[in-house]
A and B are shown apart, each in its own frame.
Chain A
Amino acid sequence: MAQPQSLYDKLWERHEVLPESDDYPGVLYIDLHLIHEVTSPAGFTMLERRGIPLRRADRTLGMADHSTPTTPPTAAGQWQYGSEDARAQVEKLLENCERHGVQLFDMGHKRRGIVHVVGPELGASQPGMTIVCGDSHTSTHGAFGALAFGIGSTEVGHVMATQCLLQRKAKSMRIRVDGELGRGISAKDLILHIIGKIGVDGGTGHAVEYAGSGIEALDMEARMTVCNMSIEAGARAGMIAPDATTIEYLRGRPMAPSAEAFESAAEDWLSLRTDNDAAFDREVSIDATAVAPTVTYGTNPGMVAPIDQPIPEPTNESERRALEYMQVTAGKPLAGHPIDMVFIGSCTNARMEDLRAAARVMRGKRVAEGVRMLVVPGSETVRGQAEAEGLHEVFTAAGAEWRQPGCSMCLAMNGDIVPAGKTSISTSNRNFEGRQGPGARTLLASPATAAASAVAGSVADPRIDLRAVEVA
């Protein structure tokens, strides 16, 4: 009998152009290459210096998302960039994509958005694929049962030139999540809880598969949130086996297999799931019923605490420094900690369900005095749908800013920044020192927690609002 294989084993084996040896890494074929304005210029430069063509434009999709403005264009149709460099970078992407025949979702395109939101929306990200992008949150697409991971700019050039990458197979880790998440608890709380358990380098050297009843119960958007933050635990790739939820999400999407080809594709996708008895280098078990609304208190995504529990005492100099930077106190819970800014957005949490969750909490309420709130949809599609549902009116009536799609304040390279010394509660993925602007302090949380905090003016438990809704 054949050796039982994991999802990762199957994905790897299907894409092996040449197996690895002692002297050489394996040559791995890449099905889909997503490119954006920040990490693609070096790849294009490499092609041009060497005089080689981009090998598979049909397997490449370009997206303007990182440096792009989130304010609307002027009446004359001019986009207001944060800097001339940012404008030049986006223009360079357009020029490069035109020259090499790459389909680009440029400013003004009706399906533009954050690359990790749009790929799945289009049905371009499919089970069984290898998907790479010069962006560490490429792990998001692993939610479809794809091997998806971030690469550097040199590797972007390698894929452009050869549609392949040199890779050694990683070790494997399975994170089993059993039980059901409580009411008001989201996938974001779950993944923050997981990172807190295994640590920011707990997944280093591993490809992670999330499994178990707690994962199977999640919809695709929630699965994407989980896989998205795999890199925050050190794992380049996170993945979830395709099932009926995956198939129904993909059915009818513009780049998914056509109706005639769909059923046989779906059958193949289901065969990717990890065989019984497949071996993993490491197994971790998580109880979903024990997950509370979870918020970070420090300067890496592993420094998390349940919202109503005391912030742990620091155990080393790095942690002491982090608490000092964040101006939080060990022994006190985060609930009630004052905030200045709220950011709902990013490839982690800017999809429909995220906006709906935030709007549910905010409906009929106001953003607290002195707090500034940005809501940045993940794509034009999300923006359109949210506006059709009237969610934008919930946010603007509350005093929040409803913006154009993009990465925005997650990494603050487009001019959307948190000022020095200010504290933001953010649905993004990184709370590093200065991530949202020099001297900015970031608390990572779910959309519901961020929205409840916006109303309270301090970190607030969204479950309290939900109870109020039920009583009413």
Chain B
Amino acid sequence: MKPLLRLTSSIVTVPQANIDTDQIVPARFLTTTSMEGLGHTAFHDWRFDEDGNERDGCVFNEPIAKTSEILVAGENFGCGSSREHAPQALADFGFRVVVSSRIADIFRQNAPRCGLLPVVLDETEASWLLQHPETVVTVDLREGFVEFEGHRARFEIEPFARHCLMNGVDPLGFLLEQEAHIKAYEERAA
């Protein structure tokens, strides 16, 4: 996983509220046994029609989507199923940050495991971005802010998730180091 410290990028905006993980990765793609190379499934049914042709007017088919690293979405992004395929597909598609005024709990917890930073802004800031898709945004994870048009907005992230993202590591190493405590718990609980 590539460490994430700070990046500046154009944005892709999807203003719909309640974008669920079935939109992000339709369930029929879940028969895979690998979490790699899922980018082609990202928003698949928004991007392609029944015959596999690109749909006109879908923002993910625009040139900007090929280079943008930041996705800005309407409130309650990532609701629905716990499939980690969803943040994984967005990361594989090229996104490193997802911004919304509210991000669903499981998606928010899964995203950093895939190297995808979840950023929750207040509603005014998020909706301003949704209305200004041409904006270039800087995200600084070390300092915990996003900056656009001279405006700086702070965001909260769980400190350990931040640590893992900044260092490009999975939290499993930390958990494995707790073996003595886990063993002690098991003896206590037995």
Contacts and interface: CB of A to CB of B under 8 A. Distances in A.
Nearest to B103: A204
A45 B88 CA distance: 16
A274 interface: no
B31 interface: yes
A136 B106 contact: yes
B39 interface: no
A18 B181 contact: yes
B17 A17 contact: no
B31 A200 contact: no
B105 interface: yes
The interface centre, meaning the residue of B109, B163, B171 with most chain A CB atoms within 10 A of its CB, is B109
A435 B50 CA distance: 15
Interface in B69-89: 74-76, 79-85, 87
Contacts of B32: 85, 89
Contact of A153 (B45, B76, B84, B181): B84
Given A154-B114, A157-B172, A318-B18, 14 more contacts: A86-B31, A134-B84, A135-B82, A150-B81, A150-B106, A152-B82, A152-B87, A161-B172, A162-B172, A162-B182, A164-B178, A205-B105, A300-B79, A318-B74
Interface stretch (A35-43, A172-180, A182-190): A35-43
Interface size class of B (residues with CB under 8 A): 35 or more
B31 A438 contact: no
B159 A23 contact: yes
A92 B31 CA distance: 11
Interface string A128-151: 000000111000000000000011
B172 A39 contact: no
Contacts of A85: 31-32
Interface in A303-328: 316-318, 321
Contacts of B45: 433-434, 438
Interface string B5-35: 0000000000111101011001110111111
B104 A234 contact: yes
Interface size class of A (residues with CB under 8 A): 35 or more
A200 B77 CA distance: 11
The interface centre, meaning the residue of B34, B104, B114 with most chain A CB atoms within 10 A of its CB, is B104
B158 A168 contact: yes
A34 B154 CA distance: 38
Contacts of A42: 34-35, 84
Contacts of A300: 18, 20, 79
**What 9 A-B pairs come out closest when comparing CB atoms?**
A152-B84, A152-B110, A150-B82, A85-B31, A154-B113, A41-B33, A136-B82, A201-B76, A153-B84
Contact of A158 (B102, B158, B172, B181): B172
Nearest to B28: A413
B174 interface: yes
A27 B82 contact: no
A433 B22 CA distance: 8
Nearest to A412: B27
Nearest to A168: B158
B170 A432 contact: no
